[in-house]
Amino acid sequence: MRVVLQRVTEASVAVDGEVVGAIGPGLVALVGIADGDDETVVRRAAEKTAALRVFRDDAGRFDRSVADVGGAVLVVSQFTLLADTRKGNRPSFTDAADPAIAAPLVDLYADTLRGLGLTVATGRFGADMAVALVNDGPVTIVL
């Protein structure tokens, strides 16, 4: 599993011109499920996402989590995070999980975040999505 987290002041995702998910301050989580990932891996990544201290405290240090600041998370599935570019110029996606396996695991990631008390918006699995965001910092972390 690979998750790219971006701290944002706002973000949204649209499908066919319709906004299907939007948040204010918080995190955008681009989520790629790898072949062999399971519920344990996904839950651990969600727990890490919720607890990761990438928001500033009063002293300006990274010491607050998205939960601490009352932020939200926009979860967007992105199998291209599993691209293998070691050979040639065309990426290989053989490390990405089959969509029938990946879709429920992306849903589990979002549901686990909700279970941890976070507000969560999502994209639409398998759709051609337009993601808009205002990166804050910028802060980008790869899990």
Instruction: From the candidates 6, 49, 55, 79, give the one annotated as an active-site residue.
Output: 79
And the tokens for 93?
A: 């996606």
Active site residue 55: no
CB-count exposure of residue 10 (10 Å: 0-12, 13-18, 19+): middle
Strand partners, 129: 15
Active site residue 85: no
Active site residue 112: no
| β-pairing verdict for 2-15 and 119-122 | unpaired
Q: Catalogue the long-range contacts made by 52-56 (C-beta closer than 8 Å, 24 or more residues apart).
A: 52/5, 52/141, 54/5, 54/7, 54/27, 54/139, 54/141, 55/7
Instruction: From the candidates 6, 78, 112, 122, give the one annotated as an active-site residue.
Output: 78
H or E element, residue 105: helix 99-115
Instruction: From the candidates 80, 85, 112, 122, give the one annotated as an active-site residue.
Output: 80
What residues act catalytically? 78-80
